[in-house]
């Protein structure tokens, strides 16, 4: 069962862009009230915003030299 965010800071959330707008009004460490729809009921949660983790990308393979055939003798 998934939670659906329906309000943040008393602002209705209809899509991801709405949620981003609310989050962008805050700073890391701010407390935010979130209302969710879970199952057949709504719940109000309080949370503290944290910095999003930096994605860890796999290392790039070493570049291989590219050989061009210019058609010259």
Domain regions of the chain by residue span = 4-48
- Residue 26: its H or E element: none
Which residues are CB-neighbours of 4 under 8 A, at least 6 positions away? 36, 37, 38
Residue 72: pLDDT over 70: no
R_g over Cα of the chain: 23
Confidence of residue 69 (pLDDT cuts 50, 70, 90): low
Q: Which of 11, 31, 33 is nearest to 22 (CA)?
A: 11
CATH class of 4-48: mainly beta
pTM for the full predicted model = 0.67
CA–CA separation, 55 and 53 (whole Å) = 6
Reported as a single tens digit per residue, the pLDDT across 12-66 is 999 999 999 999 999 999 999 999 999 999 999 999 999 988 888 888 788 877 7
Q: In the prediction, which pLDDT does 42 show?
A: 96
């Amino acid at each position: 069962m998934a939670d659906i965010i329906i309000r943040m800071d008393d602002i209705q959330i209809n899509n991801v862009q709405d949620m981003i707008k609310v989050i962008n009004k805050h700073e890391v460490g701010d407390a935010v009230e979130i209302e969710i729809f879970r199952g057949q009921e709504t719940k109000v949660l309080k949370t503290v915003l944290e910095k999003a983790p930096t994605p860890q990308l796999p290392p790039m393979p070493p570049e291989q030299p590219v050989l061009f055939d210019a058609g010259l003798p």
